[in-house]
Structure 1
Amino acid sequence: MTSWIPSLLLAAALAATGAAQAHGGTDHAKAGAPVRKEQKPWGIAADAKAAKRTIELRMLDTMRFVPDRLEVRQGETVRLRIRNDGTMLHEFVLGTKQELDEHAALMVKFPDMEHDEPYMAHVPPGQTGEIVWTFNRAGTFDFACLIAGHYQAGMAGRIQVAATPTRQP
């Protein structure tokens, strides 16, 4: 009866290491899968067909985004197409400065943390990821690569969402 215990422990260890790929090479936006729409302070996920504009960004191994400043209008739905021009895995995460700071600290403590959110794109070297997002709240928001060490090295940018002017009667 105890002869199967080492095999079980080995299988459990192998399964755990396979599941610990927090930032593996898979695109989190599964083709054909419904988009999970949850209002965030910086907006809400959108369906690809709703995007009226595409913004192209590049991620570099110099720990920079190009461009690192974006401007959109409140209510605008955009496709963010993020290309990793580097040789290492990078990611693009939308958020507030406070949320990104907190998440980055967790990623340093738990680099194998797994997550899958519509405001994140994990992009292997030489590949492209996409996020389709509606910026339905005016303000200044941030984006960053939260892979341990990347954010701390300055891999971050800012999005300015201009308020929609109110109509005068």
Structure 2
Amino acid sequence: MTNIKLNDGVEIPVYGFGTFMIPADGSTKKAVKEALDSGIRHIDSAVAYFNEQEVGQAIHESNIPWAPFAEGKNGIFENEILSVIGKKYGKSPAQVILRWLYERGIVSLVKSVKKDRMKQNIDIFNFSLTSEDKEQIGTLQTSGSQFFDHDDPKTVDFFEKLVKEREI
């Protein structure tokens, strides 16, 4: 996939998949899964589309990382495999995760309010992971969401309430 460079120097896939006006009746989930299966890694989504839950479900079921750091859950920043790999390159576990995603062609949207972390997060382009590194990192993937249980009625209630609050 060809990338395009944004004004800030970040590159994103030139081709993306839009979800605007796709009904949240299972159609969005099916379409996004098919887009991901086709190799598309740039998915447009917004709360105003009222189908973002199905977008999230499709991404979750495809085992593509929904957020690069899983909000720090399960001790991801202290993970031994990521720490050992990072030490080898003089990088943090967060940088190893971001490099792994980058090398897989996955666009990462990281969030931080700390300037030093922002600088660290972008400092991933001066090293490459070996096949062995990638294989070890791949063992860390889980089939479940790191954020919430999609089948839990409390999760559904939370998102229903969120949608109702945002309706005009």
Larger radius of gyration: 1
Q: More strand by proportion, 1 or 2?
A: 1
Give the TM-score normalised by the residue count of structure 1.
0.25
Give the TM-score normalised by the residue count of structure 2.
0.25
Q: More helix by proportion, 1 or 2?
A: 2
